[in-house]
């Protein structure tokens, strides 16, 4: 089956201060992929390039097997986009004005689906844009992005500004959106709980560098913290070992639990305790592995 999205050797330059890329990944239909990284790593720039709101300096982007600009209308009609910061037409006064615009450009616009989403997020169709809070704007953006039944959802920090109840409703609705098995979601987020609840795959990006794309469940299964009775100079060289600290018991972080377990057993230094790692700690160790400092100067959005 053809990928929904293919990003090949994409780079975006910002003078001499920041380079995003090279980025290389593809999305298959039926999966949710989370793009994770600190603020200023280039996540929003990536999403803007996917919507042809910014342009890569190198590489290529293909959605549904097609590329910009010649297939821009078809691509966008099959895509729902929630930007990090919603931009509204100054002529729009109420939600009805936005609906009138969106329903014109999307032939698959579903009036009943939009009304269902408005009820889900407790939104009043008579709402005026003037004075609308960030949270309400975010909920409306999600409703507008999903009401035309897109094949691909691009969600840039979708829960930003949402209260816990709306955030939970969003997670449940994304699960419903995926039920057909043919839809895809790419979401940027720094909330690891959302990644654990939603994502099938995770792309780590840190200050412009892609640190890898991983299957989330495999990542959580393979990365462990283990404790052993004694320290060993050899254990730091065992397969998968990322960190070893303490004098007794010793805590070892590994990205390949089974290989590390076997090597420790052969050394006669058995594991006395095992603990799963959270995604943020895994990300921290991946940063160290790639020589990326957490205090590095921020770049693009």
pLDDT digits (tens, 9 = 90+) for 181-199: 999 999 999 889 999 999 9
Q: What angle do CA 153, 158, 162 make, to 5 degrees?
A: 145
Per-residue burial over 214-223, b = 16 or more CB atoms within 10 Å of its CB, e = otherwise? bebeebbebb
Q: What's the pLDDT band for 301 if we cut at 50, 70, 90?
A: low
Q: How far apart are CA 269 and CA 246, in angstroms?
A: 15
| Same domain as 69, residue 200 | yes
Q: Which two tokens stand for residue 58?
A: 């190198």
| Same domain as 65, residue 29 | yes
Instruction: Indicate which CATH number applies to the domain containing 103.
Output: 3.40.50.300
Q: How far apart are CA 144 and CA 163, in angstroms?
A: 19
| Same domain as 191, residue 91 | yes
| Same domain as 237, residue 188 | no
Per-residue burial over 168-193, b = 16 or more CB atoms within 10 Å of its CB, e = otherwise? ebbeebbeebbeeeebbbbbbbbbbe
| Same domain as 21, residue 149 | yes
Higher pLDDT, 82 or 296: 82
Q: Residue 293 falls within a domain, yes or no?
A: no
| Same domain as 173, residue 143 | yes
Q: Which two tokens stand for residue 190?
A: 């720094």
Q: Residue 282 falls within a domain, yes or no?
A: no
pLDDT at res. 3:
96
How many domains does the chain contain in total? 2
| Same domain as 121, residue 256 | no
Decide: helix, strand or coil at residue 226. Answer: strand
| Same domain as 241, residue 139 | no
| Same domain as 250, residue 112 | no
Q: Residue 45 falls within a domain, yes or no?
A: yes
Per-residue burial over 242-264, b = 16 or more CB atoms within 10 Å of its CB, e = otherwise? bebeeeeebebbbbbbeebbebb
Given 198, 216, 234, the domain boundary residue is: 216
Q: What angle do CA 261, 267, 271 make, to 5 degrees?
A: 40
| Same domain as 103, residue 245 | no
Q: Is the pLDDT reported for residue 15 higher than 80? A: no
Q: Residue 297 falls within a domain, yes or no?
A: no
State the DSSP string of 255-274. Answer: S-HHHHHHHHHHHT--EEEE
Q: Residue 284 falls within a domain, yes or no?
A: no
| Same domain as 258, residue 192 | no
Q: How far apart are CA 261 and CA 270, in angstroms?
A: 8
- Which domain covers residue 271, as residue numbers? 224-276
Q: Residue 296 falls within a domain, yes or no?
A: no
Q: Residue 38 falls within a domain, yes or no?
A: yes
Alpha helices in the chain, H assignment, sequence order:
43-50, 72-77, 95-105, 111-120, 134-146, 164-177, 192-198, 216-222, 257-267, 279-289
Q: Residue 194 falls within a domain, yes or no?
A: yes
The answer to whether 92 touches 98, Cβ cutoff 8 Å, is: yes
pLDDT at res. 173:
94
Residue-wise pLDDT for 93-103, tens only, equals 888 888 998 99
Count how many Cα atoms sit within 13 Å of the Cα of residue 269 in the half-sphere of its side chain. 22
pLDDT at res. 172:
94
Selection from 101, 22, 19, 87 nearest residue 51 by Cα: 87
Q: What's the pLDDT band for 253 if we cut at 50, 70, 90?
A: very high
| Same domain as 262, residue 155 | no
Given 164, 188, 216, the domain boundary residue is: 216
Q: How far apart are CA 182 and CA 29, in angstroms?
A: 5
């Amino acid at each position: 089956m053809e990928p929904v999205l293919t990003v090949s050797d994409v780079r975006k330059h910002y003078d001499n201060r920041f380079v995003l890329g090279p980025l290389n990944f593809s999305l298959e239909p039926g999966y949710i992929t989370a793009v994770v990284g600190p603020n200023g790593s280039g996540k929003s720039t990536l999403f803007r390039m996917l919507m042809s709101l910014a342009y890569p300096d190198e590489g290529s982007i293909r959605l549904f097997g097609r590329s910009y600009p010649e297939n821009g209308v078809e691509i966008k009609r099959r895509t729902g986009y929630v930007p990090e910061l919603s931009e509204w037409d100054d002529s729009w006064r109420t939600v009805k004005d936005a609906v009138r615009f969106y329903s014109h450009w999307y032939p698959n616009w579903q009036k009943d689906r939009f009304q269902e989403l408005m009820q889900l997020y407790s939104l009043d169709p008579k709402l005026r844009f003037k004075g609308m809070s960030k949270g309400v704007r975010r909920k409306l953006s999600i409703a507008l992005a999903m009401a035309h039944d897109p094949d691909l959802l691009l969600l840039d920090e979708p829960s930003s500004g949402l209260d816990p109840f709306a955030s939970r409703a969003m997670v449940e609705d994304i699960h419903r959106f995926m039920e057909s098995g043919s839809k895809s979601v790419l979401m940027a987020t720094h909330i690891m709980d959302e990644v654990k609840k939603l994502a099938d795959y995770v792309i780590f990006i840190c200050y412009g560098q892609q640190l890898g794309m991983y299957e989330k469940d495999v990542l959580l299964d393979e990365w462990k913290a283990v404790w052993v009775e004694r320290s060993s100079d050899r254990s730091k060289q065992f397969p998968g070992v990322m960190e070893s600290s303490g004098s007794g018991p010793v805590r070892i972080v590994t990205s390949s639990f089974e290989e590390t377990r076997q090597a420790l057993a052969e050394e006669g230094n058995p594991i006395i305790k095992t603990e799963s790692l959270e995604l943020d700690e895994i990300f921290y160790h991946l940063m160290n592995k790639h020589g990326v400092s957490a205090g590095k100067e921020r770049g693009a959005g």
